[in-house]
Chain A
Amino acid sequence: MSTATVAPVKPKEKKEGLLSKKNRRTLFDPLDDNNPITVQVLGVCSALAVTIQVKPAIIMALGLTLVSAFSSLIIALIRDSIPGRIRMIVQLIIVALLVTLVDQVLKAFMYDVSKQLSVFVGLIITNCIVMGRLEAFAMAQKPWPSFLDGIGNGLGYGIILITVAVVREFWGAGKILGFQIVPQWAYDHGYVNNGLMALPPAALFTIGMYIWWQRSRKPKLVNVS
């Protein structure tokens, strides 16, 4: 895990609107300027694992967004009572609790979805983004901004995940979301799927390219991480 770039901001005394300028920034910054994967360099490991196809990437992004939003909310609510020396364990308990609860409920009411999701349960609990945001943001902020920060970072993660998955599924299997995109005549004329794209290193190249593109678009991000 690397260090997060956001310095803890002092909570404001004045009452502010639910979607004030600052809160909007908390929500939207992680989508690009402070993206958890490409800028904070958190959660890269799972981005390598679940980006072979678009469908699991979407499921993972949604799961992570929910978990990081609600764990941020809960941690921010009890932040003053958490003893500093065991704060990480407390954070982990809350995250694991949320994920396990969701998994149990899905098993009881949406069994088919839960069969698909069971692989991700472990990946979400140990995801660096969730813990990273709890440490860097929710421990020092009020519940509402923390909740927004959780959603923002989940979505920021999702954007990268889905982008990478689209690239990998297209080049690796000729499909997107399971639908054939590369036509049969291309295969008949000798087109071959790129097997490397189905393997984890391909995610690394793709994320690398994305970071390159992002930095060349926004020079201010060069050397931030």
Chain B
Amino acid sequence: MQHNNKYIFFYAIGISTLTAILLAYTAQVLKPRQESNIELDFKTSILHSVHEDASSRSTIEKIYGDRVQELVINNNGDVLTDVKVRDIVLKNELKKPVEERELALFVYMGEDGKNKYVIPMQGTGLWGPIYGYLSIEDDFSTIYGAVFSHKSETPGLGAEIAELPFQKQFPGKKLFDKNNSFVSVNVIKKTTKTDLDPVNYVDGVSGGTITSTGVDKMIEVCVKPYLAYFEKLKSAS
């Protein structure tokens, strides 16, 4: 059908405005709900990393409120009291030089009275960002639990990092080697020969090499700045 230019012009403006208003309105109306979902998801992930598998909203809020303490520290191991955990965007912190970073740390008081330290992590997979939480026991070397998630890794390949079989490998692994130097928990291709002690590495995802390397790098980069604080706690006890 032939229409004149004026019609086309106004039609285009009209339909764009209409859809824009509709989208903006929905986004505004749904925003509080979406934000509370994101917040809940964040708390759930932290609790998963310390093997708390509650699923209802109220239990998660309760356990998190009762047992988890939020801290902000820096690379020198000082606790920053004037910064809130919620104001920290991990992605932006990772761009800063390590001395200027503000690091969020979650301390979970276990039922056995021992503390677990949960470190938030972010890195890059094959197609997009990958995230994770790593919980460390109070010897500051042994991994207590780990959860990973991703934005857009391939299902069946890289996306396997978000599945239990991959994450179950982490508990019991150690960040330090026998000589007490930091080696991180490495993610290594199954067939690769390595000099590392078996407690210092886990098997990568087959077919997901780039994602596995991303996880490997993410753990090392994100955990390292916390070591000074852990050192302080160790010498204090």
Contacts of A80 in B (CB 8 A): 1
**Beyond A86-B8, A195-B207, 10 extra complex contacts between A and B, CB < 8 Å:** A49-B154, A89-B12, A93-B16, A94-B19, A97-B22, A104-B26, A109-B33, A115-B41, A119-B151, A195-B206
Contact with A along B31-57 (1 / 0, CB 8 A): 001100110110000000000000000
Alpha-carbon distance A93/B13, docked complex (angstroms): 12
A173 CB within 8 Å of chain B? yes
Tally the A-B contacts, defined by beta carbons under 8 Å. Answer: 76
Q: A105-B30, A107-B37, A198-B207 are in contact. Are A53 and B16 (CB under 8 A)?
A: no
Alpha-carbon distance A199/B27, docked complex (angstroms): 37
Residues of B within 8 A of A (CB): 1-3, 7-8, 11-12, 15-16, 19, 22-23, 26-27, 30, 33-34, 37-38, 40-41, 149, 151-152, 154-157, 206-207
A101 (CB) vs chain B CBs: closest residue: B26
Q: How far, in Å, is B144 (CB) from chain A's closest CB? A: 24
Alpha-carbon distance A101/B24, docked complex (angstroms): 10
Q: How far, in Å, is A171 (CB) from chain B's closest CB? A: 12
Contacts of B34 in A (CB 8 A): 104, 107-108, 111
Contact with B along A194-210 (1 / 0, CB 8 A): 01001100000000000
A169 CB within 8 Å of chain B? yes
Q: Are A86 and B11 in contact (CB under 8 A)?
A: yes
Q: Are A84 and B22 in contact (CB under 8 A)?
A: no
Residues of A within 8 A of B (CB): 49-50, 52-53, 55-56, 80-86, 89-90, 93-94, 97, 100-101, 104-105, 107-109, 111, 115, 118-119, 169, 172-173, 195, 198-199
Alpha-carbon distance A107/B26, docked complex (angstroms): 12
A50 (CB) vs chain B CBs: closest residue: B155
Q: A80-B1, A86-B8 are in contact. Are A53 and B156 (CB under 8 A)?
A: yes
Contacts of B22 in A (CB 8 A): 97, 101
Q: For the complex, would chain A's binding face be called helix, strand, loop or mixed by DSSP majority?
A: helix
Alpha-carbon distance A108/B155, docked complex (angstroms): 24
Contacts of A100 in B (CB 8 A): 23
Q: Are B1 and A84 in contact (CB under 8 A)?
A: yes
Contacts of A195 in B (CB 8 A): 206-207
B40 (CB) vs chain A CBs: closest residue: A111
Q: Are A52 and B26 in contact (CB under 8 A)?
A: no
Q: Are B23 and A101 in contact (CB under 8 A)?
A: yes
Alpha-carbon distance A101/B151, docked complex (angstroms): 19
Q: How far, in Å, is B148 (CB) from chain A's closest CB? A: 13
Contact residue among B7, B19, B23, B41 (Cβ-Cβ distance under 8 Å from A83) = B7
Q: A104-B30, A199-B207 are in contact. Are A83 and B1 (CB under 8 A)?
A: yes
Q: A83-B8, A195-B206, A198-B156 are in contact. Are A107 and B15 (CB under 8 A)?
A: no
Contacts of A81 in B (CB 8 A): 11
Q: How far, in Å, is B175 (CB) from chain A's closest CB? A: 29
Alpha-carbon distance A90/B207, docked complex (angstroms): 40
Q: How far, in Å, is B147 (CB) from chain A's closest CB? A: 13
Q: Are B37 and A52 in contact (CB under 8 A)?
A: no
Q: How far, in Å, is B22 (CB) from chain A's closest CB? A: 7
Q: How far, in Å, is B18 (CB) from chain A's closest CB? A: 9
A-B contact pairs, 26 of them (CB 8 A): A52-B156, A53-B156, A80-B1, A83-B3, A83-B7, A83-B11, A84-B1, A85-B8, A86-B11, A93-B15, A97-B19, A97-B22, A104-B26, A104-B27, A104-B34, A107-B30, A108-B34, A108-B37, A111-B34, A111-B38, A115-B41, A115-B149, A173-B156, A195-B206, A195-B207, A198-B207
